[in-house]
Amino acid sequence: MYDFKIDPADKTAMYEELANALEALVQGEPDAIANMANAAALIWETLPDLNWAGFYRNVGRELVLGPFQGRPACIRIPFGRGVCGAAAETLEVQRVDDVHAFGGHIACDAASESELVVPIVRGGELLAVLDLDSPRKARFTAEDEAGCVRLGEILANAI
Ligand code: SME
């Protein structure tokens, strides 16, 4: 049984603990789907104000839905489309304060107001994107971005 109980009150400490917990979870496990599934669950139970947390995998230059927590979501996203597709195309983090103001945003859940998408890259190649959605506008700060980039770095060696 895993019981991490991470306190979200202090963001810096929370992301350190989250990174440590993720490292412990994926340690010695080579299965990418298992590791993404546990990562989605850990993020979902730790970060407040999320309505979706999970992964889209790069399958032949198309994003295909991977393990997640939240409501059922669109299954395939072309590179360059929506927030996830923009992250996949540019390999740059997309931190969107207001998804309704983002041209081409794909509304999988009408409750989503802001979004953070982190490309997971190994050896210059996109493996997947980590996608977090919030029902609160401007939910994700630069600190959230840095914390989630760290999680992406851990996952780049575990998926
Ligand atoms: N909103 C995303 C699509 C994925 S869902 O949020 C789970 C986008 O615009 O890429």
- pLDDT above 90 (res 95): yes
What does the block give as tokens for 49? 């104000």
Report the CATH number of the 11-156 domain.
3.30.450.40
* Contact between residue 134 and residue 112 where contact means Cβ atoms under 8 Å apart: yes
* Contact between residue 47 and residue 53 where contact means Cβ atoms under 8 Å apart: yes
The residue extents of the domains of the chain are: 11-156
Mutation test of ligand 1: which of 131, 134, 139 has the most ligand atoms closer than 8 Å to its C-beta? 131
How much distance in Å is there from the Cα of 68 to the middle of ligand 1? 12
- pLDDT above 80 (res 138): yes
pLDDT, tens digit, for every residue of 30-68? Answer: 999 999 999 999 999 999 999 999 999 999 999 999 999
How much distance in Å is there from the Cα of 7 to the middle of ligand 1? 27
Q: What pLDDT sits at residue 108?
A: 85
Q: Which pTM value belongs to this model? A: 0.96
Residue that has been written with the tokens 């999970």 in this structure:
54
Strand pairing of 76-78 and 62-70?
antiparallel
Atom nearest to 68 CA in ligand 1: 7
CA distance 90 to 24: 30
- pLDDT above 80 (res 112): yes
Q: Lowest mean pLDDT: which of 1-5, 89-93, 125-129? A: 1-5
